[in-house]
């Protein structure tokens, strides 16, 4: 090894040494006095320096450069000048924030960071005390954990706990014995195929179809995203109609494309619940295919942030990605809508049943409890409730839009629990009693109608949406208080009749969106913007329930009239479209094939011409989008988070 030339101590250059030679000149064994003195001086200066450093430099754990954050603590050997740009910027930022938090009584950011640093230093010291073997074992365990986590991520979501499949009966067939009825049923099946095939061809993957433009249709209720709403909504109809190829196609699309991770869309909680979660759960129960259950649960998780409000009443809309919720701008005083937050119970109870996660059940029970505590003007539920204050908004009560399915779900919660949820039944009975007293009237021409309560007076107008109530009254007749079953069945029949009149008094034999009972008018629309028909199901839904409970042939007759009118006036080469004026013999189209046309309208028509053993009503309860969910015999099941059922 070559030793570098020594620097002259006295100004005289010492000759360079040859390789292998000692570093000291051999001709002189001792140092001169002056040289000794200089060496001593250097040595004493060095000792003083070390001594000073030991006593006077700040404690390591308090050193400024440790105020940078955890990663700096974990690499404490990095000197400040070697810090990266970001670390330096962060150091500055921390200092500024520290200044801001000083003197407010709370532990300063600096204290918190210091505590973190000390903990990390302690951990580091402990690590250093460990033997090499122990450290290697720890590293190995950590490696295994990371690999496991990666595997889990690749394998997708955690499998759900196995739960017994509730009794599922009558999921197919239902062929009617009479050939004439079978012929009608076949026609409905053909209409379903036309609607589906057209969507398959022109709108596949979009939420809905524009049957005239022959392209996909997006709506704001699904955040203008492409979530395949028609596929999910139509699945169970396809299944019960025996359209198995189509069902398989839909299932494949769902398996490959229905993924909510990272979907940056602000969706309606209500619509996603009734169409997507309801549709997926029904498809799962009918077909037994796990994928539908998994997708329903994944989506439900994304809706949960909507409940993060001061009262627990959910926002109307939630962004699936950020979880940020808000209400419709048009809703009274920033309110949530009764028919929206009140139409979650059926699906959420099933979600808790299938996942073992009590959160869904708790969310809907919390809503129920909160409502039970509130004063109700005249015993009526206003349509608007502010989720921040927990106060009612405008006093507007309706059994149609904004209110409708809240009442429906009270009754169906009771039915779905195998009639054990008596609290729901009682709430339904009380609500219906108030509705009958304040909203239901007979017109001069003898038509029973359900009006709307607006700021202290009754508006004598009924919506197409309200027509579902005929079916609801019939469904709730059995089990009504004071043995009023006959009364409610009769009320259902009267509403069915009125709604049929609203169809029969038009040119197209299709019902308008809203109709009046005022100034000599009976069951007809007045305003131009109430004359449209958008393939809605409610009137046919009521015909079907009435048929099941009475077997009066007029309901099949009325249903057939409606089916023929739809086929004649709404059918186009690219599917089915809504029409803008049911009183015009030359109607224009709205160019939308609604997903509920496949989920509800065609399903109820098909069931109307099927035998009663297809989806029998003692085993199935239809959600508000006509997705059948099986009765959960809660007498035998205790939902996590619930009390055992009382009979
Ligand atoms: C459907 O989406 C549901 O029935 C909902 O409850 C209200 N109405 C539409 C169809 O008209």
Provide the mean pLDDT of the chain. Answer: 85
Predicted confidence at residue 394, as pLDDT, reads 95
Ligand 1 center from residue 377 Cα (angstroms): 26
Mean of the pLDDT values across residues 473-501? 97
The dihedral through the CA atoms of 98, 101, 102, 105 has a sign that is negative
CB atoms within 10 A of CB 395: 17
According to the 3-state scheme, what is the secondary structure of 403-465? CHHHHHHHHHHHHHCCCCCHHHHHHHHHHHHHHHHHCEEECCCCCEEECEEECCEEECEEEHH
- Tell me which residue has tokens 């469904």: 475
Q: What is the reported pLDDT for 69?
A: 27
pLDDT tens, position by position, 582-616: 999 999 999 999 999 999 999 999 999 999 999 99
Output 388 or 16, whichever has higher pLDDT. 388
Please report which confidence band the pLDDT of residue 227 belongs to, taking 50, 70 and 90 as the band edges.
very high
* Residue 513 bears catalytic tag: yes
pLDDT grade for 397, boundaries at 50, 70 and 90: very high
Measured in whole angstroms, how far is the alpha carbon of residue 186 from the centre of its chain? 36
pLDDT band at 1 (very low <50, low <70, confident <90, very high): very low
**Per residue in 619-635, pLDDT tens?**
999 999 999 999 998 76
Residue among 340, 347, 418, 513 flagged as catalytic: 513
Q: Which residue has the higher pLDDT, 34 or 257?
A: 257
- Give the CA-trace dihedral at 17, 19, 22, 27, to 10 degrees: -40
| 108 — pLDDT class (breaks 50, 70, 90) | low
Q: Measured between alpha carbons, how far is 229 from 319 in angstroms, rounded to an integer? A: 17
Catalytic residue, candidates 91, 347, 421, 538: 538
The 10s digit of each residue's pLDDT in 173-211 is: 999 999 999 999 999 999 999 999 999 999 999 999 999
The arithmetic mean of pLDDT across residues 340-360, rounded, is 97
- Residue 169's pLDDT is what? 94
- The single residue listed with the structure tokens 């989806």 is 615
pLDDT of residue 135: 76
Say if residue 624 carries a ligand binding annotation.
Answer: yes
User: Taking residues 369-395, what's their average pLDDT?
Assistant: 97
> What distance in angstroms lies between residue 632's CA and the mean position of ligand 1's atoms?
24
Q: Which residues contact 453 (CB under 8 A, 6 or more apart)?
A: 378, 380, 395, 396, 397, 398, 438, 439, 459
Q: Is 290 a catalytic residue?
A: no
**pLDDT at residue number 71:** 27
Residue among 267, 274, 411, 532 to mutate when testing ligand 1 (max atoms within 8 A of CB)? 274
Q: Give the ligand 1 atom nearest the CA of 408.
A: 6
Among 65-69, 125-129, 162-166, 325-329, name the most confident range: 325-329
**Rounded distance from Cα 272 to ligand 1 centre (Å):** 12
Ligand 1 neighbours (beta carbon < 6 A): 405, 465, 536-537, 596, 600, 624-625
């Amino acid at each position: 090894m070559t030793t570098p030339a020594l620097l002259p101590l006295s100004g005289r250059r010492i000759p360079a040494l040859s390789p292998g030679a000692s570093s000291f000149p051999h001709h002189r064994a001792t140092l001169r006095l002056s040289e000794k003195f200089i060496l001593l001086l250097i040595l004493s200066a060095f000792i003083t320096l070390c001594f000073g450093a030991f006593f006077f430099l700040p404690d390591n754990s308090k050193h400024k450069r440790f105020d940078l954050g955890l990663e700096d603590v974990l690499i404490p050997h990095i000197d400040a000048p070697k810090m990266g740009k970001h670390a330096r910027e962060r150091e500055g930022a921390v200092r500024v924030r520290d200044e801001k938090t000083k003197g407010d009584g709370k532990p300063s950011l600096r204290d918190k960071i210091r505590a973190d640093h000390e903990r990390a230093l302690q951990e580091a010291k402990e690590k250093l005390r460990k033997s090499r073997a122990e450290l290697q074992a720890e590293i190995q365990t950590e490696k295994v954990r990371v690999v496991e986590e990666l595997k889990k991520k690749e394998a997708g979501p955690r499998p759900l706990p196995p739960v017994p499949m509730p009794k599922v009966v009558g999921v197919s067939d239902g062929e009617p014995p009479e050939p004439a009825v079978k012929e009608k049923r076949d026609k409905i099946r053909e209409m379903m195929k036309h609607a589906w095939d057209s969507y398959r061809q022109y709108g596949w993957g979009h939420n809905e179809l524009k049957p005239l433009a022959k392209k996909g249709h997006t709506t704001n209720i699904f955040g203008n995203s492409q979530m395949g709403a028609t596929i999910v909504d139509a699945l169970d109809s396809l299944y019960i109609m025996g359209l198995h190829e189509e069902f398989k196609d839909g299932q494949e699309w769902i398996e490959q494309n229905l993924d909510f991770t990272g979907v940056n869309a602000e969706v309606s909680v209500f619509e996603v619940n009734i169409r997507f979660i309801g549709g997926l759960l029904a498809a799962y129960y009918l077909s037994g295919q796990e994928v539908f259950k998994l997708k329903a649960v994944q989506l439900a998780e994304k809706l949960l942030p909507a409940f993060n409000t001061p009262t627990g009443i959910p926002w109307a809309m939630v962004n699936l990605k950020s979880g940020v919720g808000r209400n419709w701008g048009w809703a009274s005083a920033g309110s949530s809508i009764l028919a929206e937050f009140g139409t979650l119970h059926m699906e959420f109870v099933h979600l808790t049943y299938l996942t073992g996660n009590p959160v869904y059940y708790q969310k809907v029970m919390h809503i129920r409890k909160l409502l039970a505590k509130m004063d109700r003007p005249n015993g009526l539920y206003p349509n608007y409730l502010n989720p921040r204050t927990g106060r009612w908004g405008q006093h507007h009560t309706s059994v149609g839009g904004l209110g409708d399915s809240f009442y429906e779900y009270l009754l169906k919660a009771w039915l779905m629990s195998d009639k054990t949820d008596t609290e729901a039944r009682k709430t339904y009975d009380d609500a219906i009693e108030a509705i009958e007293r304040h909203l239901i009237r007979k017109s001069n021409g003898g038509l029973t109608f359900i009006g709307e309560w607006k700021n202290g007076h009754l508006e004598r107008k009924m919506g197409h949406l309200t027509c579902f109530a005929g079916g609801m009254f019939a469904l709730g007749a059995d089990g009504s208080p004071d043995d009023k079953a006959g009364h409610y069945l009769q009320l259902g029949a009267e509403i069915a009749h009125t709604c049929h009149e609203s169809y029969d008094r038009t040119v197209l034999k299709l019902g308008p969106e809203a109709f009046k009972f005022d100034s000599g008018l009976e069951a007809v629309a007045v305003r131009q913007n109430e004359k449209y028909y958008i393939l809605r199901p409610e009137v046919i839904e009521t015909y079907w329930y009435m048929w099941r409970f009475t077997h009066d042939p007029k309901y099949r007759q009325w249903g057939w009239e409606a089916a023929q009118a739809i086929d004649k006036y709404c059918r186009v080469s690219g599917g089915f479209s809504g029409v803008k004026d049911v009183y015009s013999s030359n109607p224009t189209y709205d160019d939308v094939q609604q997903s509920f046309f496949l989920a509800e309208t065609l399903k109820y028509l098909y069931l109307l011409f099927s035998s009663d053993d297809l989806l029998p009503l003692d085993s199935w309860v239809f959600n508000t989008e006509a997705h059948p969910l099986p009765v959960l015999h809660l007498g035998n099941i205790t939902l996590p988070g619930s009390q055992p059922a009382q009979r």
